[in-house]
Amino acid sequence: MSAVHVRVRAGGEHYALPVEGVREIARRDRITPVPGAPPAVLGVWNLRGDVVAAIDLAAMLGLAPGDGEGRIVVVEEGERHAGLAVEEVLEVEALPTTLEPVDSPYLAGATLVDQVQVGVIDLHALLAAAREGG
């Protein structure tokens, strides 16, 4: 895995997504709700004809959901892909390679960037859980 990550804000906290797993960043457009979907699943989103599940990253991490504005970060790992709704995309940058352990199944660890704690998302675990209903 590369040290370069896309740093985002979700639920008021900072997180980083490995850049090799980020397909694109888009404006948050109309999301169609899906009846019976888990709370973290906002619905489906049309990305140039490709139907993508839109997931509230904050809700997935057990935080208060976002404010409805923001961006969608389209992530993929193998055949799995999803649009992660975030409040803001902050930076694309190299993170320190040493990560502190954290107690979350969706984080690979945490690090400090400019004196701010940043959780590093484990895309494999996050997308697997989203597929299974969170």
Q: Say how far apart CA 83 and CA 53 lie, in whole Å.
A: 6
Q: Model confidence over 1-40: pLDDT tens digits?
A: 568 999 999 999 999 999 999 999 998 888 999 999 988 9
Q: Is the pTM of this model over 0.85?
A: yes
pLDDT attached to residue 1: 52
CATH number at 36 reads 2.40.50.180
Domain containing residue 66: 4-131
Angle CA(61)–CA(63)–CA(68) in degrees, nearest 5? Answer: 105
* pLDDT tier, 42 (very low <50, low <70, confident <90, very high otherwise): very high
Tokens linked to 130: 């989203």
Q: Model confidence over 87-104: pLDDT tens digits?
A: 999 999 999 888 899 999
Structural domain count, the chain: 1
